[in-house]
Amino acid sequence: MTKTILIVDDKLSLTRLLQEYFGKQGYRTVVADNGRNALFTARHAKPDLILLDVMMPEMDGLEFIRTFRRESDTPIILLTARVEEADKVAGLELGADDYVTKPFGMAELNARVRAVMRRYEQKEHSQERLLVGEVELDRTRHTVRVDSHYIDLTPSEFDLLATMMAAPGRVFSRLDLMERLPGDSPERVERTIDAHVRNLRKKLERDPSHPRYVETVFGVGYRFRPEA
C-alpha cells in the first residue's frame, strides 16, 4: 500500500521540492502551509508520516503537535533551522519522533523518514496483546478479559475496543471509529457507533451508566481511560 506523507511548510518552493522528491520515491504527498491547515488535512488525509516545519504563521509547528497529539500518534519529523535548538527539545517533548536541521540533504531526510516509519510499524505489529488496567485484549486469540473474566464481543465491538485500547487517553471521533466498521453507511455514523459503544459497555463495565473504561467526550467522541 502506498504511504502518504503530509508536508507542512509555509515556503512553497520547499514543499514543491519535497513533493517531487518523495513522489519519485513512491510516496503519495499532501501539503499544508500552516499548522491550522495541517490539522484539517491530517484529519482527512490520514497520513502515515508528517514532515513539519516549526516556524509558520497562524499556528506554528509546536502548537500543531500539542493539538494533534491529543488525536493521533502519527509519526512526526520536525524540520528546524540551526538556531532553533530550544524548539527541537520542545518538539520532542511534545511528541515529535525526530528532527532534521535545515538545510538538509534529501538522502538524509529520506533515511530519517524510512527509519521513523519502520519503528512505528514495528510498534504497531508488537501490539498483539493490549493490557490497560484490568482489561486485557489479545488480537491473535480474539479474546478479551476483564479482571480475569472472559467476555464475548462481536467483531465490531472487538475492533472498536482494540482501536481505543491501542491509544489510551486518545479521543476518537465517531468517524474515526466508523472506519473500523467496513460496510456501514457513512450516513449512519453516530447511530451505529453509539449503539456499538452502548453494547460494549454492557459487557465491559460493572455499571454501564457510569463507565470506568469507555468514556464519552461530549461533542467529540470516545476514549479508553488510561487510568482505568
Q: In CATH, what number is assigned to the domain containing residue 94?
A: 3.40.50.2300
pLDDT tens, position by position, 16-35: 999 999 999 999 999 999 99
- Number of domains present in the structure of the chain: 2
Of 125, 154, 185, the position where a domain reaches its end is 125
Whether residue 12 is found in the same domain as residue 109: yes
- Flag whether pLDDT at 205 surpasses 90: yes
Tell me which of 55-59, 120-124, 175-179 is least confident.
120-124
Residue showing cell 462481536: 154
Tell me which of 40-44, 55-59, 85-89 is least confident.
85-89
- Tell me which H or E stretch contains 195: helix 189-204
Whether residue 134 is found in the same domain as residue 214: yes
The span from the CA of 87 to the CA of 13, in Å, is 23
Looking at residue 143, which CATH number applies to its domain? 1.10.10.10
For residue 6, the model assigns a pLDDT of 98
Beta-strand runs (E) in the chain: 4-8, 28-32, 49-53, 76-81, 98-102, 129-132, 135-138, 143-146, 149-151, 172-173, 214-217, 221-224
Whether residue 176 is found in the same domain as residue 163: yes
Of 97, 125, 153, the position where a domain reaches its end is 125
Confidence category of residue 141, pLDDT binned at 50, 70, 90: confident
Strands 214-217 and 221-224: antiparallel
In 96-188, alpha helices (H): 106-125, 155-165, 174-178
For residue 185, the model assigns a pLDDT of 43
Q: Please answer whether residues 36 and 130 qualify as being in contact, where contact means their C-beta atoms are separated by less than 8 angstroms.
A: no
Question: With 0-12 CB in 10 A as exposed, 13-18 as middle and 19+ as buried, what is 37?
Answer: middle
Does the predicted TM-score (pTM) go above 0.95?
Answer: no
Whether residue 38 is found in the same domain as residue 120: yes
For residue 128, the model assigns a pLDDT of 77
3-state SS assignment for residue 49 = strand
pLDDT tens, position by position, 70-128: 888 889 999 988 656 677 788 888 888 888 988 899 999 999 999 888 887 766 655 67
Q: Say which amino acid occupies 30.
A: V
Average pLDDT estimate for 219-225? 91
- Flag whether pLDDT at 177 surpasses 90: no
Of 92, 125, 158, the position where a domain reaches its end is 125
Whether residue 96 is found in the same domain as residue 24: yes
Whether residue 86 is found in the same domain as residue 172: no
Whether residue 164 is found in the same domain as residue 97: no
- Flag whether pLDDT at 14 surpasses 90: yes
Q: Which residues, including other chains, have CB under 8 Å from residue 36's CB and lie 6 or more apart?
A: 58, 59
Average pLDDT estimate for 180-184? 55
Report the first-to-last Cα separation within the chain, whole angstroms: 35
For residue 187, the model assigns a pLDDT of 42
The domain in which residue 9 lies consists of: 4-125
Cis peptide preceding 75, ω within 30 of 0: no
Name the residue among 116, 104, 114, 113 with its Cα closest to residue 17.
104
- Flag whether pLDDT at 188 surpasses 50: no
Whether residue 218 is found in the same domain as residue 199: yes
Whether residue 172 is found in the same domain as residue 118: no
Whether residue 161 is found in the same domain as residue 89: no
Tell me which of 45-54, 73-82, 121-130, 219-228 is least confident.
121-130
Whether residue 77 is found in the same domain as residue 186: no
Kindly report the average pLDDT of the chain as a whole number: 87
Whether residue 26 is found in the same domain as residue 101: yes
